[in-house]
Amino acid sequence: MTVRLPIVVPFSPSIDEAQAPEVPFSALDTVWFQLTGTLCNIACQHCFISCGPKENRVPMMTEATVRSYLSEAAELGVRDYYFTGGEPLLHPQFWTLAESVLAVGPLTVLSNGILIDGANAERARTLFDAARYSFDLRISLDGMSAEENDPVRGRGTFEAITRGIAELARVGLSPTITVVEHRTGMGSEQSRSQFLQFVVELGLSRPRVKFMPLLRIGREAERTHGYDSALAWYSPGPVEEALAERLLCSSSRLVTEHGVMICPILLDAPGAQLAKTLRQSMTPIALRWDACRTCVVDGLSCRT
């Protein structure tokens, strides 16, 4: 059976500038690298940026682009860094780039874990030990069984992901496991503690599990449904300080091969492109997209 993937359409803001809540910019604490663009080794049904093995509409970052943003970020006093994709481990210079970032600050890598074999786990461990700063891994797994995980992430992925996690456990690393609540009830207290127990059984000595609400954009909008634009979740004017602090857009930016964007969620929103440099991108943000509701109302935070 061939899976027909929908053509990805860039989405435009759905909320009027004048009506949109505004998030002030506090400081550039975090920089996210869209390291492999939209290239991934799998194609999850709920991927909010519709990544996949042939998906190159957002290109992989060149080593030069990564380095130039890294040095600008360091000059600006950035506190920490994230690699995301797609699957960051598909980048041919992944390990040297990770090492370069770790010379400057802490790094968290978001991965699906499938490419973590014995050799890569050893490399990760070596890097973890050598770096002054924290080198953290985050592996996405969407269920405690193949029956629960594979329908969204693809056949055989449960097996492959848990094997990757076990390799990390074997070298003494404890990645954070992120779980997308793709079915109702997954985020309940009972399911959280079951999941925690489950990752302990996978061998993680310091279990960390992070549940994340669904983003109803990209492929997920096809799997289930998109946002109901008529829902009034917002009001104009600056958001409360506590909320602003929680939102990524007040203190982080996403860098891609093509320039700086507001956040990793809005990768397919041309209106979320800010500038070529980080310095020029440190501006207040009007929350003009339906997806912002997931951050504001459902409490999504992309931080670990």
State phi, psi for 217 to the nearest 5 degrees. -135, 175
Structure tokens at 248: 């990524």
**How many residues appear in the chain?**
304
Q: Is residue 109 at the binding interface for ligand SF4, with CB under 6 A as the rule?
A: no
CB-CB neighbours of 210 under 10 Å: 15
Residues 189-218 that bind another protein (CB under 8 A): 189, 192, 206, 208
| Binding footprint of ligand SF4, residue count (CB under 6 A) | 25
Q: Is residue 170 at the binding interface for another protein, with CB under 8 A as the rule?
A: no
| Binding footprint of another protein, residue count (CB under 8 A) | 25
CB-CB neighbours of 296 under 10 Å: 18
Give the DSSP letter string of 232-293. ----SEEPPHHHHHHSGGGTEEEEETTEEES-GGGTT-GGGEEESSSGGG---EE--STTHH
Residues 2-31 that bind another protein (CB under 8 A): 27, 29
Residues 172-191 that bind another protein (CB under 8 A): 172-174, 189
Q: Would the CA dihedral through 111, 140, 108, 70 be positive or negative?
A: positive
Residues 43-102 that bind another protein (CB under 8 A): 74-80
User: Least distance (Å) from ligand SF4 to the CB of residue 52?
Assistant: 6
Q: Which does 249 bind (CB under 5 to 8 A by kind): ligand SF4, another protein, none?
A: ligand SF4
- Please choose, out of 68-76, 195-203, 263-271, 275-283, the segment that lies near ligand SF4 by the rule CB under 6 A: 263-271
Give the DSSP letter string of 10-78. -----S-TTTSEEE------EEEEETTTTB-SS--TT-TT--BTT--SSPPPPHHHHHHHHHHHHHTT-
User: Least distance (Å) from another protein to the CB of residue 191?
Assistant: 13
User: Least distance (Å) from another protein to the CB of residue 98?
Assistant: 13
| Member of 291, 299, 303, 304 binding ligand SF4 (CB under 6 A) | 291
Residues making contact with ligand SF4 (CB under 6 A):
40, 42-44, 47, 51, 85-87, 112, 140, 247-249, 262-263, 265-266, 285, 287, 289, 291-292, 295-296
